[in-house]
Amino acid sequence: MNVPFVDLPADGQPWVYLASQSPRRQALLREWGVLPVPLLPDADEDAEALEAPRPGEPPAAYVRRVTRAKLSAALARLRRRGWPAGVVLAADTTVALDGAILGKPADAAAARAMLARLSGRTHEVLTAVAVAAGGRRWLRVSRSRVVWRALAPAEIDAYVASGEPFGKAGAYAIQGRAALWVRRIAGSHSGIVGLPAFETGELLARAGLALLR
């Protein structure tokens, strides 16, 4: 498939191929001074199939496997398109409660059920980030704990009606309205958003992109 290439910055700004449609990850990279060049799936790729959990798969194993698969798919996509060589970044985020994976809700009923399970509980958010450059690959995982206050059914209904839960692991976005429910976090706020700053910076440095020079 002939996919047009995005022009690269002429001023030497660091850039990476980003194998993610997440506007949150794009925004974080821009905040860190890195231009994200989208490396998105072709129309005939079943990208959602990569995120299907396996029966009994632990959340940490799941997020690692999915991120590795996303990175491999992105590298194959880059070769297929014949675009210039560059650093490739892929990531995946999942929410875990009592060892169970809470992925993206399929509909409003699923979103309500997830939010009700998280209400008044402490859950874990795991984000894996993987980087490839020069034939080498690196992967790191960020783990954070999030404590929520108890939610009233009406609050859950209003949040689902806002549309914010859809396309989000665990049916919420900590950078959105759900932040009002968070008593505290232990870990990486950017990791909960979808791209952990510390781990991403370390991996990009290994790939030759030293930020904050």
Average pLDDT over the chain, rounded to whole? 93
Catalytic residue among 42, 92, 107, 157: 92
92 is catalytic: yes
Q: For 174-210, write each residue's pLDDT tens digit.
A: 999 999 999 999 999 999 999 999 999 999 999 999 7
pTM of the model: 0.92
Provide the residue type at 2 as one letter: N
Interior angle at CA 157, CA 151 and CA 160, nearest 5: 105
Task: Let me know: does 25 contact 167? Beta carbons within 8 Å.
Answer: no
CATH number of 15-206: 3.90.950.10
